[in-house]
Amino acid sequence: MDRLPPLARLPAFEAAARHENFSRAAEELGLTQTAVTKQIAALEADLGRPLFERRNRAVFLTEAGRALARVVAPALADIAAETARLRGDPAPGGLVLHCQLCEAFYWLMPRLARFHERHPAIEVRVVGALAPLTQAPEPFDVAIQTTGRPAGSARLAFAAADEVFPVAAPGLTPPVPPEALAGLTLLSHRALPQDWMDWPDWFAALGLPAPRPGRVRDFDSFPLVLQAAVAGQGVALGWRRTVEGLIAEGKLVRVCAESVHRPAEISVFRGTRRGGHAQTDALLAWLHEELSS
């Protein structure tokens, strides 16, 4: 035990690692940002290596920081759970599944009944979100989001493939070659940073020039993009797993045969809400099976 760092510094580190943001960690813990910064700096000095990279008023976990967070986060979660049990606090029921809003609405919810049929004793509470995992409002057991978005200290369980192709309302436009798409109204989910494929990336993947800015209409969420496409307002990029239900219902059609394959487009993470347990393993196994089909 002589090699343990001062334990009072670990909650600040865990919160900062989970959010990859000192300000949000301070707000969660009821501390000032200065206090969180000092505790992490002291922990780094004790360990003799940086845990965060400071860059342009933002912080990012180093490899050492990510490795430490994967040990500290479940340890603190287990301590909190056992403390609550000893106090006689009611145990929170079920699993928290954090999922990007669009995937939650269009992909997960139509399938979740199959998980409940297989595991009727496991309760799953789905939390939909537009923000990345580092801005999750509460701890989670499992999370699904686009690969490459900030994930903080969440541990990657596996990644799954997807493909991206243009979709539109039936009758909006006949099938066209991809080079002709630049002349149509294109619908886009724009955000900063751009953590997912957008029209310039899709055209570039096919070796084609990017569309002119005036041809693109921007929306602040992907569900709005899809609803605009269903309403006949233009052509959207569709991720197969997300739009296949809308295509099956006849609300959208593929505009061209070309698509861009993304071998690791979706990432599934194990959270630190209560550490590893059989229910989380069952949910992860089911998600792997569904995303592999």
pLDDT tens digits along 32-83? 999 999 999 999 999 999 999 998 778 889 999 988 988 888 788 778 767 7
Q: Which pLDDT band holds residue 92 (cuts at 50, 70, 90)?
A: low
Structure tokens, 140: 């989670």
Per residue, the 3-state secondary structure of 152-178, as one string, reads: CCCEEEEEEEEEEEEEECCCCCCCCCH
Q: Under 8 Å CB-to-CB from 66, ≥6 apart: which residues?
A: 17, 153
Q: Yes or no: say if 141 and 95 are a contact pair by the CB < 8 Å rule.
A: yes
Q: Yes or no: say if 102 and 243 are a contact pair by the CB < 8 Å rule.
A: no
Instruction: State the Cα–Cα distance between residues 49 and 72, nearest whole angstrom.
Output: 16
pLDDT at 195: 79
pLDDT tens digits along 126-176? 999 888 998 888 889 999 999 999 888 888 999 999 999 999 999 888 889
pLDDT at 268: 97
Q: pLDDT higher for 90 or 203? A: 203
pLDDT tens digits along 225-249? 999 999 999 999 999 999 999 999 9
pLDDT tens digits along 211-226? 887 788 999 888 899 9
Q: Is 242 helix (H, G, I), strand (E, B) or coil?
A: helix
pLDDT at 89: 59
211: cis peptide before it, omega within 30°?
no
Q: pLDDT higher for 283 or 196? A: 283
Place of tokens 């789905």: 126
276 pLDDT higher than 60: no
pLDDT at 78: 75
1 pLDDT higher than 60: no
90 pLDDT higher than 70: no
pLDDT at 274: 61
pLDDT at 88: 62
Q: pLDDT higher for 39 or 6? A: 39
* Assigned CATH for 7-87: 1.10.10.10
pLDDT at 277: 79
> Matching CATH topology for 7-87 and 94-293?
no
Reported in sequence order, the residue ranges of the chain that DSSP labels E, i.e. its strands, are 52-55, 58-61, 95-100, 124-129, 142-146, 155-168, 186-189, 216-219, 235-239, 253-254, 260-270
pLDDT tens digits along 186-207? 999 887 677 789 999 999 999 9
Q: Which helix (H) or strand (E) holds 277?
A: none
User: Which residue in 107, 104, 93, 95 sits closest to 140, CA to CA?
Assistant: 95
pTM of the model: 0.76
* Assigned CATH for 94-293: 3.40.190.290
Q: Yes or no: say if 5 and 121 are a contact pair by the CB < 8 Å rule.
A: no
Place of tokens 């860059």: 55
Q: Where are the domains of the chain?
A: 7-87, 94-293
Instruction: State the Cα–Cα distance between residues 95 and 284, nearest whole angstrom.
Output: 11
263 pLDDT higher than 80: yes
Mean pLDDT along residues 95-122: 92
2 pLDDT higher than 70: no
Ramachandran angles phi, psi of 140, nearest 5°: -140, 160
Neighbours of 187 (CB within 10 A): 25
254 pLDDT higher than 70: yes
Pairing status of strand 253-254 against strand 95-100 = unpaired
